Amino acid sequence: MGMFSFFTQELAIDLGTANTIIIKNDKIVVDEPSIVAVHNQTGKLFAIGEKARQMHGKTHENIKTIRPLRDGVIADFNAAELMLRGMIKMANARSRFFNPALRMVICIPSGSTEVEVRAVRDSSEHAGAREVYMIYEPMAASIGIGIDVEAPEGNMVVDIGGGTTEIAVISLGGIVCNKSIRIAGDDFTADIQEYMRHQHNIKIGDRTSEDIKINVGSALPDLENPPDDFIVRGPHQMTALPVEIPVSYQEIAHCLDKSISKIETAILNVLEMTPPELYADVFRNGIYLAGGGALLRGLDKRIASKTNIPVHVADDPLHAVARGTGIALKNVENFSFLMQ
C-alpha cells in the first residue's frame, strides 16, 4: 500500500444541507457553509463557502447564490458538483503538481432513495473521486460520538442537521429502526422568519433569522441561564421604515414549538418500533443528540422530559458526523455497513 497510498488521497466528507466538512488525515481541512455563488450568464463559479454565504441575500442580477442541497439531498446537480470540486481543491491546496486518485467516504441521510444516493455518487465521481463509499448519517454520528456501533447493544442517535433530522437505533453495526424527517435547522430558521413577520411586522432574511436562532434560540420557555435579548433591525412591513426589535428566547421557544414537537413525535415513533431488548438498552444508555440542532438551548431537557429517557448532547455536535465519517474512512476494509 505504501507507494500506492502516496498517490491516493483519502477524504471523508460530511455533505450537509447547511455546512460541508472535509476531513483529511484526521484533521478538519474544510468547514464551510454549503453554498456557492455563480455568474448568472456563464454559470461559472464566483465564490464558495463562507465567501458565498456573505453574499447570500445581497447579490445583484449578475450573480446568484445557490444552496445545492435541500432537505439533505442534492437539489441542484451542477451547483453541487461545482461546490464539491471547489471544496476538494481547498482540501488539496498543497498538492498542486499532480491530481492524486481520490477515495472518499460521504455520508447520506438514512431515508435517501436510490435516486438521491445516485446523485451523491455521480456528483462525487464528477468531482474526481475514484472510489466512493457511502455511510448513513446516524451511523457516522454514532461513530463520531464514540459509541461502539459493532457491540450487541442498542444505542439511539438523533442527528438534527440543517435539512433532515435522522433518528436511528443502532446495534451490531447496523441500523435496526430509523426515521428520517425533513424538519431540522432550516425549518427552525423559516419558523423564525414567519414569526417575525406575523408578530413584529418586520421582514428578515435567512442570515438574520439564523443569527436569531444562534443567539436566542431555545426549546424551552424557561431556561436556567437565559441569553440576553437579541436586537433585530429591518424594514417594517407596512411603512418600509427601519425598526429595531428586541427578541427574547421565550418568543423563539414559542415559535419553534411546533417543529420541535414534530421531532419529538418522530423520536417516540422510533421508540415504538424498537424491539424490547434494544429498548431496554436505549433506556439504560440514553439518547444521544448530534448535529447543529443539538446546540438549541434546553432541547436535551425537553426531549428527556417527553420520553423519560436521559438525553446526552455529543461533545462537538456540529462535527460528530464528520468525525465518524473520518473514522470509517480509516477502516474502510473493516466496516461492513459502508456502501461501495
What value does the mean pLDDT of the chain take? 90
Spatial contact of 160 and 256, defined as CB atoms under 8 Å apart: no
Q: Name the residue with higher pLDDT: 5 or 60.
A: 60
Judge whether 219 and 260 are in contact, CB under 8 Å: yes
- Residue 99 pLDDT exceeds 80: no
What confidence tens digit (pLDDT) does each residue in 18-63 have?
A: 999 999 888 899 999 999 999 988 888 889 999 999 988 888 889 9
**Residue 171 to residue 151: CA distance in whole angstroms:** 6
CA distance 315 to 304: 18
Q: Indicate whether 1 pLDDT > 60.
A: no
> Cβ(22)–Cβ(115) under 8 Å?
no
pTM, 2 dp: 0.90
Q: Which CATH number fits domain 2-140+321-330: 3.40.50.970, 2.30.29.30, 3.30.420.40, 3.30.470.10?
A: 3.30.420.40
Q: How many CB atoms lie within 10 A of CB 199?
A: 13
d(C-alpha 214, C-alpha 249), whole Å? 10
Mapped onto helix, strand or coil, the DSSP state of residue 332 is coil
Check whether 2 has a pLDDT greater than 70.
Answer: no
Cell 446568484 maps to which residue? 64
Is the four-CA dihedral 101, 105, 109, 114 of positive or negative sign? positive
Q: What is the mean pLDDT of residues 196-201?
A: 94
Domain boundaries, the chain: 2-140+321-330
pLDDT of 302 > 50? The answer is yes
Q: What is the mean pLDDT of residues 140-158?
A: 93
Average the pLDDT over each of 2-6, 101-105, 248-252 and give the range with the smallest value. 2-6
